[in-house]
Amino acid sequence: MGPSRTTRVELELPRASTLDTTRVITTVAVPLVARGVLLRRPPVVALAERLDADRRAVHLLQRLRARYGPGPLRLRVPGRSVALVLSPEDVQQVLGGSPEPFAVANREKRGALSHFQPHGVLVSHGQLRADRRQVNEAVLDSHRPVHRLAEAITAKVLDEARPLVPDGSSGSLAWDEFAVAWWRAVRRVVLGDAARNDYELTDLLARLRAAANWASLRPKRTRIRARFLRRLGVYLDEPEPGSLAELVASTPSPAATDPGGQVPQWLFAFDATGMATFQTLALLATHPAQLDRVHSELAGTDLSAPQDLAYLRSCVQESVRLWPTTPAILRDTTWDSRVLPAGTALVIFAPYFHRDDQRLPYADQFTPELWVDGRAQDNWSLVPFSAGPAECAGRNLALLVASTLLAALLERHEFHLTSPAPWSHDVRCQAPSTPSGCASRSPRAPRKAENSVTSNP
């Protein structure tokens, strides 16, 4: 049965002028693409920070909403039917209607992700997509707040996190040092302890992601991908107990599903999670009230046992709200309507919804309470992990790893931000640029820690 002909998409939609379309391209699309969609380009990110690019984009879309109405707003893009989603109601319709009639496997997304995960769920359609989604949900335990392998995962994360801040020590924690420990933990969680020091595996993935930034404009790097798959196959062919690779091998699926083909997406997603984790540490360092609540949650907690650290998880979610790791959520329509032809790209620009100060009183404030007091529930302006049937399957696993690592860092140490300048009540719209700054640290006083600080990737 086809989709209902009474949905919002059947209404007459406004069309932006050529000038306003140009403004969207130069203010929203160009900075987004230039920064690197699949792998960040630090110099460009630094420039975007100085120009406060995201805030400019948010203000532009607010002006377009005032001029044209709540949308969706069609753009005059040569050779491509594109519409901007401008209201939470349409976010609900589009994300709630994924993957049909709003396909997750958007044309631009397929061109980019095919460089390193051509068999991934995000670039799949129909029954094959359903089968691959089922594998992702099964292995990642999407519907459990604490993964079934949480005991092994927690041990691995703590094992890598605690040497970063030895008891009784003081010093600094730079992003580069943090990132090395993060990736060691991620490789162990996903592929097993044998992959701990396999830097080449993730370096090869980074090279593929750099090529994917160019989507279909750059030829596939087939030799690099072959090397990556060979190294990945070593861990998937002989999966280590207690790893996600073991669950991949033991999860039944149809022959064409290629469960191992989902793993590159998990590694890619954990990169963004690491950035959000370091960002969260910076936010907590500059927001003492929230940090005190984290310390209260950690008080008397045995981190060696898996914990559902609800408030600390909410801090990570809030970090991703403030600086979305997926700034543009893309869908393609799969059917013709009176106003939108099949294949129309629908663009949900997450910073606009997350930082819309005309709708959200906390738009530019660090407010993790949103995620525990019910305000974020059913609020379709807040989609840090997407939403609907195609919500990020690894959301709970990512939050488990991030909150466990943060707990290990904050349990006995204070952090003081050294770069960039601390935030107070309002948080900049643009995330601090490159992962080059550092956080000073000192042993935590027996009573409570005062400030936590880091710099941001």
User: What pTM was estimated for this model as a whole?
Assistant: 0.91
Alpha carbon of 377 to those of 290, 381, 387, 407, 418: distances in Å? Answer: 20, 10, 11, 25, 35
Decide if 2 is inside a domain: no
CA–CA distance, 116 with 7 (Å, rounded to integer)? 36
The answer to the question of residue 3 being in a domain is no
pLDDT at 438: 47
Q: Is 56 helix (H, G, I), strand (E, B) or coil?
A: helix
For residues 73 and 96, what is the distance between their CA atoms, to the nearest angstrom?
Answer: 19
Render each residue's pLDDT in the chain as its tens digit; 457 residues. 444 433 444 457 999 999 999 999 999 999 999 999 999 999 999 999 899 999 999 999 999 999 999 989 999 999 999 999 999 999 999 999 999 999 999 999 999 999 999 999 999 999 999 999 999 999 999 999 899 999 999 999 999 999 998 876 677 889 999 999 999 999 999 999 999 999 999 999 999 999 999 998 899 999 999 999 999 999 999 999 999 999 999 999 998 999 999 999 999 999 999 999 999 999 999 999 999 999 999 999 999 999 999 999 999 999 999 999 999 999 999 988 877 899 999 999 999 999 999 999 999 999 999 999 999 998 999 999 999 999 999 999 999 999 999 999 999 888 888 876 545 456 766 665 434 444 556 666 433 222 333 333 3
Q: 405 is written with which tokens?
A: 């690592």
83 with 72: CB under 8 angstroms?
yes
C-alpha dihedral over 176, 174, 180, 449, to 10 degrees?
-160
Q: Is the dihedral of CA 66, 67, 72, 78 positive or negative?
A: negative
Exposure on the CB side of residue 181, measured as CA atoms within 13 A: 23
Structure tokens at 206: 């980074």
1 assigned to some structural domain: no
pLDDT at residue number 165: 85
Say if 140 falls within a structural domain: yes
In angstroms, the Cα distances linking 280 to 103, 289, 405 are: 32, 14, 11
CA distances from 388 to 2, 66, 121, 330 (A): 19, 27, 15, 13
| CATH number of the structural domain spanning residue 45 | 1.10.630.10
In a domain, 62, yes or no: yes
Q: How far apart are the first and last CA of the chain?
A: 46
CA angle 316, 321, 325 (to 5 degrees): 85
Distance CA 419, CA 436 (A): 9
- Indicate whether 455 belongs to any domain: no
> What total of structural domains would you count in the chain?
1
The structure tokens 């701990």 sit at 196
Q: Is residue 448 part of a domain?
A: no
86, 73 Cβ separation under 8 angstroms: yes
Asked if omega into 43 is within 30° of 0 (cis), the reply is no
Residue 9 identity (one-letter amino acid): V
Q: Are strands 345-349 and 82-84 parallel, antiparallel or unpaired?
A: parallel
CA 152 to chain centre: 23
- The number of residues in the chain equals 457
Instruction: Tell me if the bond preceding 101 is cis, omega within 30° of 0.
Output: yes
Q: Cα–Cα distances in Å, from 80 out to 26, 305, 334?
A: 17, 52, 14
Residues 6+ apart with CB under 8 A from 327: 32, 54, 349, 350, 351
> Which residues span the domain enclosing 388?
8-443
Which of 237, 244, 241 has its CA nearest to residue 266? 244
In a domain, 60, yes or no: yes
pLDDT value at residue 457: 39
Burial of 204 (0-12, 13-18, 19+ CB in 10 A): buried
C-alpha 293/C-alpha 277 separation (Å) is 17
